[in-house]
Structure 1
Amino acid sequence: MREHPALDPLDAALQHSRYLQRLNTATPDLITHEAAEVMHPYDKGSMNAFVAAQGEIVDDGMLKRVLRTLRKRVMARLIMRDISRLATLDEVVKTVTSLAEIGVEQAACHHARWLQPQFGEPIGDETGTAQQLIVIGMGKLGGSELNVSSDIDLIFAYPEDGHTNGPRKLSNHEFFTRLGRLIIATLHEPTADGFVFRVDMRLRPYGDSGPLASSFAMLEEYLHTQGREWERYAWLKGRALTGDADGLWTLVKPFVYRKYLDYGAYASMRSLHGQIRREVARRDMADNIKLGPGGIREIEFIAQVFQLIRGGRERGLQMRSTRKVLSWLGEHRLIPPHATRELQEAYAFLRNLEHRLQYLDDAQTQTLPSQPDDRRQIASSMGYSDVESFEKALQWHRSRVTNHFEHVFTAPQQEGEHPLDDLWQDDEYSEQHTAKLAELGYQEPDTIKQLLSQMKSSTRYRQMPESSRRRLDALLPPMIEVAAGMPNPDGTLTRLIRLLDAILRRESYLALLSEHPQTLKRLANLYSASPWVSDYLTRHPILLDELLDARLLYAAPDWAQTRARLAAELDAATGDAEQQMDLLRHCQHTQLFRLVAQDLAGLLPLETLSDHLSDLADMILAEVVRCCWQALPGKHRDNPLFAIIGYGKLGGKELGYASDLDLIFLYEDDHDNAGENYAKLARRIGTWLSTATPAGTLYEIDLRLRPNGESGLMVTTIEGFAAYQHQHAWVWEHQALTRARFCAGEPSIGAQFEQIRQQVLMKQRDLNQLRQEVYAMRHKMLENRLGSREGFDLKHGRGGIIDVEFIVQYLVLAHAAHHPKLTGNKGNLALLGFAAEAGLLSAADAQAAQQAYREYRRLQHAQRLDGRKRYIVDEIAITPHIQTVMTIWRQVFGQD
């Protein structure tokens, strides 16, 4: 909106509002008073103060007069403030919303009080307590976004059926129906003073033919058995203005917000919008800035489709304000920032224009006037010097809205039949099918055709809902085509069909793939590259959503931001352990999937990937500790003096995709109940990490490295840990200590642990005895490990990963007393370099060992992605590395 020439607020408003002109003629004192107060917003407190100043409201006639007079005052001041640019759009909609809230509150309160002498209070059958009418604001009232001449959409509900306890008994339903009719009349019926708000009740269950007031039981039954998609859309903004808001939200939330990502919402919202478009065309409503192309409704649809799809998982989307939802979508990059900005600008422009259209005659209209004088007046009130420049700006905003709307809602292109339709649709086996599959590049076309036929004839396919089956039928041909373009088409399509079989009954995932056909190529690339990834994604199809936005999928992780967001979600679910466990799993699965996608795209060196996987585990552990302690019964302090120490791959920050977590738990707390409480905490942490929920698992954990192993206590004091390490620990336990670090919990305990670790590692040792003990432990491991006839075991084979690790661990324990740098938990590659700097290995040997270790880890990682559980390779290919490691082993230990 352009700047308006500076005018006296009353003069400016009178020029642009015939309604205000009529008010000024009929009630000049009222206008004079409001003009004097024009610098002050008419907030809810001021409105309540005006009502209170009228004295006791004794009957319905007085209530109507007071509320109608209040409306005139509010409207007069609001028009002056808005036209003169003293009020923001937020102030305007908030002011009108507050007026509606006060009208509803006053009408409900007074009429309930006036009914009670006849009928008494309504009492619930279940609880025996007094019941209160819940007036539910829908639409813009529920969203606190009312326009200045808006209808208000209401629904009446009450918690329990029952009867009143007065002289004339009524059922609760009859009582609240009477009360509802009185509220409507108080607000809606025209009197000599006008009206307060027009009331629309058509959004209630069964519409005009339904009961005026519904019990919670009836409302819940209706929503979950007969509620339609457009009603989900309407209830997004449903808000209790009176009564039990929490009870209502508990009832309505499962209907509005699905626990899964509901991509089926695209089709239903697209259908609803199509009906509106057809009605607009039929009635020639192109000049309607709400319903017409590029209008307010399209902006609302953009915001609300994301709420319907994601609101069940993203609590941040469970809000009612369109502008706040748009901001959230932009901040979380679900729509591009420039789109958010343009939609916000268009929304503000169109809503301001809507208000100016309504200021003309206080009419509920969103249509541009046909009269040239009125158009000039609207253009002027919007700050434009002529109609042409105003209309150009309007068209500019509407075209941008249309562009963004079409980007979100345009249906996938389905131009005629797909050329491979017959491969899926034809039930009869044909040599032509085999030939076509072979031509596409499939190595075993008969097997592929048989796989397709089996799926087509399966009971699971035949029992699918018709809408789901249509989606699947449309998906299969392009999926066959895209898999054919992969280096291993047969394996890729086989894995993709396994995914489809897993989601046959989950229409939302089928909808995601059909609504976003561009995801098929990304999906096929991942399923072609790695059996492990394909299995992971098939087990967790909720991650399909990650394929939609390549910017997010391939963005470097920001762990601080991710943890802050996760913590907020967990805090919002406080008290619901099951939901918190699922939130942790969704977060971990999402981040892991993004990392594996970046890994397969060649964006992450292996060392960087391991760092990220370790950082992810640290973050999850920290939040698990926090949540478990918050919910621990009988805890003796607000924050636990407790720490998690990671060993092995987690401790050395060499975590892989499916690594277990080797953990120990320490505490420093002299409270009498400390040991018992921290043992409970440790057990609960183990449960939260390893229990399988519908969302999967987090990590398998191994606690055998704690002092005294499996026979030891679950948790240990920091003093007890120090004493054990100095006095009782075996050499192999000191070896393990070379790769151990603080991961989560109380940092001061982590600092003490690190001090103890360094003291232990720097102890003076008898080198011959140390050498023999490390050597003996290695050969004990070999005796317990059967060899492989298939090839070389990367981890356990002689000259493999464990031998490199034992060499490094020996060098640390043997020489850290004189070379403190060796106590750094920097990973085996860095420690080999430190050993060379200290003269314990030659630079050439250290470099050769680093190359061998790096290659072993690369091969191990590749085999994990290939779905293998044992890391066996062809020995011939890595013989030089094996020989290097064994040469260094002999130098260090003097024997094989």
Structure 2
Amino acid sequence: MTILDTARRYSQYLARHLDNGNLKPEIFLPMLEKELTLDDFQAFADWEKIRAEEDEETLARQLRLLRRYVVSQIIVRDVNRISSLEEVTRTITLFADFAVNTALEFAYAYYQGLYGTPVGRYTQTPQHLSVVAMGKAGGYELNVSSDIDLIFVYPESGATDGRRERENQEFFTKVGQKLITLLNDITADGQVFRVDMRLRPDGDSGPLVLSETALEQYLIQQGREWERYAWCKGRVVTPYPNDIAALVRPFVFRKYLDYSAYEGMRRLHRQIRDEVSRKGMANNVKLGAGGIREVEFVAQIFQMIRGGQVRALQLKGTRETLHKLAELEIMPAEQVEMLLSAYCFLRDVEHRLQYWDDRQTQTLPENPEQQQLLAESMGFADYAAFTDGLNAHRRQVNKLFNDILSEPEDADEAAGHEWQWVWQDTLDEEERSGRLQNAGFDAEAVVGRLNQIRHGNKYRHLSAHAQPRFDAAVPRLVQAAAMQDNPTGTLLRLLDFLEHISRRSAYLAFLNEHPQTLQHLAEIMGQSEWVAGYLTRYPILLDELISTQLLETHFDWPKLAAELADGMNNCNGDTEAQMDVLRHFQHAQIFRLAVQDLAGLWTVESLSDELSLLADTVIAAALPYVWADMPKKHREQPLFAVTGYGKLGGKELGYASDLDLVYVYDDPHPDAPDVYTRFARRLTSWLSTATGAGTLYEVDLRLRPNGDSGFLAHSMAAFEKYQRENAWTWEHQSLTRARFICGAENMQTAFDRIRSEVLTAERDSEELAREIIEMREKMFATHPPADSDVKYARGGVVDVEFIVQYLILAYARRYPELLDNYGNIALLGIAADCGLIDKELAEQCRTAYRCYRQQQHHAKLRDAAVVADTLTEHYQYVRRLWAEVFGEEVRFSAA
């Protein structure tokens, strides 16, 4: 049996055309051997001649004949399993694009001949009509029998330049009408596509075409929730440079995480479900439970929520979106695989239903003969086996769909009926205070704060959507706070947070959609004022609370860097968006680390390593995009490097540490000093400027050669000369903690060589000791050495750092292992192994330094930093080491 014989059994449409000789073998058979492309459509007829002769009848006929061949080719290849689902949908969508553009070119040329060329009133340039494909046409997901949803948009108002002048609105309306006629009218040769224009602004009652300005105003002022979902798939199919996507994107994809999309999607699904029930469409594989629409909704809900933040999700197709959700670990891979398998199965069924007689149907047949043929075409022995397979897919889809879009718990149940009284204004004030007191709260403080919120401007001006969400959240937050060790402090932070986010109804929606996260939120805010403040500044981080990676301590930095680069690429050169992507990325990782830190999952050294790797990743990600954004540059890639000093160089960063950076370049071009100075200034701005997404780091450039009076960027030769001839001892001390962060690879070798040679230079150890002691004593005036300050106390952090720096500068020439920038704890051990200091004392000082770091760290992160009882003992160990290294115990302690 040939592939034609096989296919005709399952398609009356194909059999009819084969039997009537409507498919010429010399044309049709070669088409069966390959996937069709635009070139094949173009070669089918002399479209240029038809347009030149204004032969509308021939154009309409040729498009219909071409559709007959394309649909028949798709049927034969698909039923015989020669093509994939992607080929089927892409082929018919490409044909739709071709048909639209061919009809548009004809219509435009026709009316241009009558009225002249439409010209923009403001730009005075020729105007062209943009056709936006919506729905399946927008996502390259058309069926062979689909209609096509279109929207017509032209750039700007104006008039044609011919003798019979027409306003652009009238001109393009006529063009649009003719385009529809050419595709939609049913003739003796059939129809090209049914054209549906109801998705345009104001639907059938709105104008057929509208200007970009009118479209933008409509979306801002009147755009409805369901239109966001529709425009998510909107794709401009015409080749003209009109940038409709830029004005639609802010409407579709919110800048913040839009959890209100859940309710919008539920409403839309309820409408569809009611229609299915009303019309008895349970056997509809598209709209019925567990059908195609539910798969599409699952993919789209995550696009609506996260697409504004994760531009990689701003995709058109369902399958590509699902793949991206798995790649970004937003959905578990096994769930995505299940949805993809079900989606392909359901789409195959849908296509076979439409192949039967070229009708737009998704309803399973009732005729036993047709049922059997459908089952066979899907690879099953009989219809019962087929329906078993179909129903298995639909059950899985429907279960996941219900899990994701299920209604949140009832507010009363979620917070417990006993907590509703907290926010009810009908309750007696004395009784409210008594209940709060019994629950462990400072009743006066809590009641005062609740009353302040209720009568404040923010609450009273909440929208009709936001206020019920706010009201539902308050009792839940009180309940969560009551379970903490410090319920009053926790609740006050939670209420501050709630009031801060109240203008963003989507964040309130998150709290209602995910009531299970409130306990975790309360635990975090109860433990750390710093984390509470961080989350209040960046409420977008709420999303991290439901991430499966929140407590996963393995940070795959190469993978994270690749995801960050992908996010930057998806900004399409938008500088502000790229800066925001950097900030969102950094904030998410810091929040994740802080939550893990509060849970006791990190040692202070390991945490600092991760924070330093995060800073390295952010700087390295920014570098190429800052360079790409540079005007007047003389090369494709910069010969430039970023080096880190201080805490970044020593991999001892804390949550709010500054970045001490030094910029160098190695470029002989005469413009290099000016170019790299501008580059350094711009890179610093990228890293330190506050944007709508917040801040990244404070950047300190004072450790560069000549400090604040020096150039922002130095040539490698100038850097080396300065370090050899002009640098002070304290600058060489700083160099001990310096390391290459990112930049041109050959510059890392040069920087490491210079650092090594400078640090291993011959030095007078006594003179070096004297200079370091003097430098330490100069600090006493501005930072008195009090025992309560572990950084500047005698025997504290700075003294350990100075000891290690001295050992490197004095002995690295003999012991090059001291050059490895492992941090002070490791370097004390290396110095002891080299015999430079007593091993037991070195270990005691390592313990002391680790304790100091923990003290500093906990003072930032936790509400009550535990002051170690052993601090005095730690100070004594470090003072003993200082005396051993410098022989200056009396002078040191007497200052």
Give the TM interval when normalised to the shorter protein. Answer: over 0.9
Q: CA offset at residue 574 of structure 1? A: 5.2
Q: How does 1:317-328 map to 2 (within 5 A)?
A: 317-328=313-324
Q: 2:185 aligns with which of 177, 185, 189?
A: 189
CA distance in 1, matches of 2:502, 2:643: 43
Give 3-state SS (helix, strand or coil) of 1:154's partner. strand
Q: What does the per-residue CA deviation read over 1:807-831, in whole Å, with 9 as the maximum and x for residues that have no partner?
A: 1122222222222222221111111
Q: CA offset at residue 724 of structure 1? A: 2.1
CA distance in 2, matches of 1:42, 1:768: 83
Aligned to 2:762: 764
Q: What does the per-residue CA deviation read over 1:569-617, in whole Å, with 9 as the maximum and x for residues that have no partner?
A: 3234354322222221111111111111222222222111111111111
1:217 is the counterpart of 2:216: no
Q: What does the per-residue CA deviation read over 1:317-352, in whole Å, with 9 as the maximum and x for residues that have no partner?
A: 111111100110111111110111011011101111
Aligned to 2:739: 741
Q: 2:33 aligns with which of 39, 62, 70?
A: 39
Q: CA offset at residue 712 of structure 1? A: 2.4
Aligned to 2:452: 454
Residue type of the alignment partner of 1:434: S
TM-score, length of structure 2 as denominator length: 0.96
1:23 is the counterpart of 2:17: yes
Q: CA offset at residue 748 of structure 1? A: 2.1
Q: How does 1:5-24 map to 2 (within 5 A)?
A: 7-24=1-18
Residue type of the alignment partner of 2:121: D
Q: CA offset at residue 747 of structure 1? A: 2.8
1:889 is the counterpart of 2:885: no
Q: 2:88 aligns with which of 89, 92, 114?
A: 92
Q: 1:495 aligns with which of 471, 493, 496?
A: 493
Contact residue 31 and residue 76 of structure 1 kept, 8 A: no
1:812 is the counterpart of 2:772: no
CA distance in 2, matches of 1:830, 1:128: 70
Aligned to 2:294: 298
- Note the residue ranges of structure 2 that are not aligned, 5 or more in a row: none
CA distance in 1, matches of 2:758, 2:140: 64
CA distance in 1, matches of 2:635, 2:165: 54
Q: CA offset at residue 243 of structure 1? A: 4.9
User: Sequence identity, in percent?
Assistant: 48
Aligned to 2:79: 83
Q: CA offset at residue 422 of structure 1? A: 0.8
Contact residue 135 and residue 243 of structure 1 kept, 8 A: no
Query: Greater CA deviation, 404-413 or 107-116?
Result: 107-116
Give 3-state SS (helix, strand or coil) of 2:162's partner. coil
Contact residue 762 and residue 813 of structure 2 kept, 8 A: yes
CA distance in 2, matches of 1:885, 1:98: 75
Q: CA offset at residue 883 of structure 1? A: 1.3
Q: What does the per-residue CA deviation read over 1:475-507, in whole Å, with 9 as the maximum and x for residues that have no partner?
A: 111111111112221111111111111111011
Contact residue 116 and residue 161 of structure 2 kept, 8 A: yes
CA distance in 1, matches of 2:446, 2:853: 35
Q: How does 1:439-518 map to 2 (within 5 A)?
A: 439-442=438-441, 444-518=442-516
Contact residue 550 and residue 596 of structure 2 kept, 8 A: no
Aligned to 1:880: 873
CA distance in 2, matches of 1:863, 1:29: 81
Contact residue 647 and residue 737 of structure 1 kept, 8 A: yes
Q: 1:630 aligns with which of 628, 631, 642?
A: 628
Q: CA offset at residue 726 of structure 1? A: 2.2
Q: How does 1:454-853 map to 2 (within 5 A)?
A: 454-552=452-550, 554-573=552-571, 575-786=573-784, 792-853=788-849
Give 3-state SS (helix, strand or coil) of 2:676's partner. helix
Q: What does the per-residue CA deviation read over 1:757-816, in whole Å, with 9 as the maximum and x for residues that have no partner?
A: 22222223222222222111111111222455xx61110011111111111122222222
1:164 is the counterpart of 2:157: no
Q: CA offset at residue 43 of structure 1? A: 2.8
CA distance in 1, matches of 2:789, 2:610: 26
Contact residue 436 and residue 443 of structure 2 kept, 8 A: yes
Aligned to 1:3: none
Contact residue 553 and residue 601 of structure 2 kept, 8 A: no
Aligned to 2:431: 432
CA distance in 2, matches of 1:586, 1:732: 37
TM-score, length of structure 1 as denominator length: 0.96
CA distance in 1, matches of 2:486, 2:226: 44
Q: 1:50 to 1:862 in 2, by over 3 A?
A: same
Query: Greater CA deviation, 432-441 or 391-400?
Result: 432-441
Contact residue 642 and residue 663 of structure 2 kept, 8 A: yes
CA distance in 2, matches of 1:676, 1:32: 67
Contact residue 24 and residue 31 of structure 1 kept, 8 A: no
Residue type of the alignment partner of 2:430: E
Q: CA offset at residue 231 of structure 1? A: 0.7
Q: What does the per-residue CA deviation read over 1:636-684, in whole Å, with 9 as the maximum and x for residues that have no partner?
A: 2222222222111111111111111112222222221111211112222
Query: Greater CA deviation, 188-197 or 765-774?
Result: 765-774
Provide the aligned C-alpha RMSD in A: 1.9
Q: 1:876 to 1:186 in 2, by over 3 A?
A: closer
Q: 1:36 to 1:603 in 2, by over 3 A?
A: same
Contact residue 239 and residue 245 of structure 1 kept, 8 A: no
Q: CA offset at residue 165 of structure 1? A: 2.3
Residue type of the alignment partner of 1:521: Q
Aligned to 1:368: 364
Residue type of the alignment partner of 2:389: A
CA distance in 2, matches of 1:210, 1:113: 25
CA distance in 2, matches of 1:652, 1:677: 29
Q: 1:126 aligns with which of 110, 122, 126?
A: 122
Aligned to 2:422: 423
CA distance in 1, matches of 2:729, 2:163: 87
CA distance in 2, matches of 1:787, 1:543: 39
Q: CA offset at residue 149 of structure 1? A: 0.6
Q: What does the per-residue CA deviation read over 1:101-140, in whole Å, with 9 as the maximum and x for residues that have no partner?
A: 2221121111222223322222221222222122221111
Q: CA offset at residue 832 of structure 1? A: 0.8
Q: 1:73 aligns with which of 51, 69, 73?
A: 69
Q: CA offset at residue 13 of structure 1? A: 1.4
CA distance in 2, matches of 1:337, 1:327: 9
Q: 1:173 to 1:553 in 2, by over 3 A?
A: farther
Contact residue 287 and residue 367 of structure 1 kept, 8 A: yes
Q: What does the per-residue CA deviation read over 1:168-211, in whole Å, with 9 as the maximum and x for residues that have no partner?
A: 22221112111211111111111111111111111111111111
Q: CA offset at residue 521 of structure 1? A: 2.0
Contact residue 10 and residue 35 of structure 1 kept, 8 A: no
Contact residue 554 and residue 597 of structure 1 kept, 8 A: no
Q: 1:29 to 1:641 in 2, by over 3 A?
A: closer
Q: CA offset at residue 877 of structure 1? A: 4.0
Q: 1:711 to 1:174 in 2, by over 3 A?
A: closer
CA distance in 2, matches of 1:123, 1:715: 50
Give 3-state SS (helix, strand or coil) of 2:7's partner. helix
Q: CA offset at residue 287 of structure 1? A: 0.5
- Note the residue ranges of structure 1 that are not aligned, 5 or more in a row: 1-6
Give 3-state SS (helix, strand or coil) of 1:174's partner. helix
CA distance in 2, matches of 1:16, 1:574: 46
Q: 1:28 to 1:156 in 2, by over 3 A?
A: closer
Q: CA offset at residue 15 of structure 1? A: 0.9
Q: 1:463 to 1:111 in 2, by over 3 A?
A: same
Aligned residues: 884
Q: 1:159 to 1:815 in 2, by over 3 A?
A: same
Q: CA offset at residue 876 of structure 1? A: 4.8
Q: 1:525 to 1:450 in 2, by over 3 A?
A: same
CA distance in 1, matches of 2:104, 2:867: 81
Contact residue 9 and residue 35 of structure 1 kept, 8 A: no
